[in-house]
Structure 1
Amino acid sequence: MDTNRKKWIYLIVLSLIWGSSYILIKKGLVGLTPIQLGAVRVLFSSIFLFLIGFKWLWKIDKSKWKWIAASAMSGTFIPVFLFAYAETEIDSSIASILNSLVPLFTIFIGFLVFKVDFTKNQVVGVVVGLLGAILLIFQGANVNPGQNYFFALLVVIAAVCYAINANIVKSKLQEVPVMAISVGIFAVMIFPAIIVLLFSGVFKTETLQNEAFQTSLLYIAVLAVFGTGMAKILFNKLIQISNAVFSTSVTYLIPVVGIFWGILDGEKFTSIHLLASGIILLGVYIVNKGRKKETPKT
């Protein structure tokens, strides 16, 4: 299969997996605290990846481990907790839409930190996307006055983290095998996750015997294996065969899936939400239209 077709297949599969992640987080929070959810998610994902690819750890050069660690923290560890806390106050569909800011921040971080050139169109796209995000947050606060929409800023911070990670993988880990990157980042995170879990109260008898906890654990197991473990492998491969901006364009499609699940779960979604979502995606489109062509890696 040619590289161009392969990258589009990866993009669509990732959008379906990650678009479903937000509703799984919401269901997981019924029986888990945000700190428990984040730690359990990392732990389950680590176990899954170690089972299928532990041997790949030996293929990581010592000089690359600092970038593996940076990718682990920015691309997974910090965001899993940010999203968990954010969804205690905002709807899962809103979280999925705000995640569309990732390509905009990818351009911004790429220029500031990694010295990647940008175009005038990309600057316009970033501004348009941020205006859409502001409108979405304010509308969400109006429609759901009982929710604290300052928590939406946690999703924005997570989007910045994802943008940093995309640039790290593309510029610093291009020559490292995809499985090695994926297993390596969880090798970095597993011990911090265990420490967090030990102090989270998850091992209390009353917690373990709680039916809501047990059901939530199943949701997070699915999220960990598919939404974190398998998706991380696919995403790292997508970055390597395309580029950081195209890869993060998966956020074009994620909101469609996220909104679908949110509406099925009874979340409110108004015409203003739709307008704000469209503005964000317009910004992402302008950014992608304005990027310079890159030769895909095979």
Structure 2
Amino acid sequence: MAYPSRPYQSEADYALMRALLVEIAALEGPLTYYHLGDLDWWRFSANDPGEAVRQVRLWFDGERLVGFGWPSGSGIEFVAHPRHAPVEAEILAWGEGRRPADGEGRRFTAWSYEHHRARNQLLRSRGYERSAAHFRLNVRALDADPPAPALPAGYRIRHVRGEEDVAARVEVHRDAFSPSRMTVAKHLAVMSAPTYRPELDLVVEAPDGSFAAFCLVWHDAANRTGEFEPVGCHSAHRRLGLTRAVLFEGMRRLRALGATSCVVFSSGAAEAEPARRLYAAAGFELRARLYAWELQERGGGDA
């Protein structure tokens, strides 16, 4: 069957997209592709949050949203209800059709979990090849209190208090992810996202009052889970246990909100080994690998 589709129109559509992610997470648990925080981060950390979401297309079964596609750089992020898996082919075809006519030699990227055989087969049938690039989905149960955060003398953990902290919050982010495109305007926009909670925008404050490490936690109350995204540490304060401490504080706050699990993605690249050791030390376990599948661009943008 063909699913009717249309472009994104209004905030009502954004609410439908969020509801779809919550519904999928209820069915699939932590092994879902995207969490509420991912959606809000894509949109509100963009240069123009309104324009970013207007690139989205929605697919329906009657009046019920069952999938959407979000163009992302030279590829697509896409969501499909597991009971409406055939819509994935339609979303991919739409995304491939948006490739620029002068895109010859570039690659169009879509993502699939290593264990998701049906999606992997679909991508292979459309000419995609799995690359080595991947992310690791790390999951931790919150069935017991995490260890108390341990900090060096003079450091303390707190949450972002409002606009007065944003410049310092952006500074530590930019250093941790240098080179970074994060700006004060972008973080202020993130603070307006539906899932954002100031008490879950955590920082480690250094003795001089600057911010030394941070994590942003996104809480899915309906599914009693949380996601850490992003997580980082200033280069001048590394190897002090600060990032693990702020992760533990985030877990403690999630658990107080009723969450029973949390997730964090990490790069599968060799240079990301320190992050993998950090998450393992914080009690996360590798549960899945999310691979980039690439379709060689062809001039004319034909699928």
Give the shorter-chain TM-score range.
Answer: under 0.3
More helix by share: 1
- Normalised by the length of structure 2, the TM-score is 0.24
More strand by share: 2
- Normalised by the length of structure 1, the TM-score is 0.25
Max radius of gyration: which structure? 2
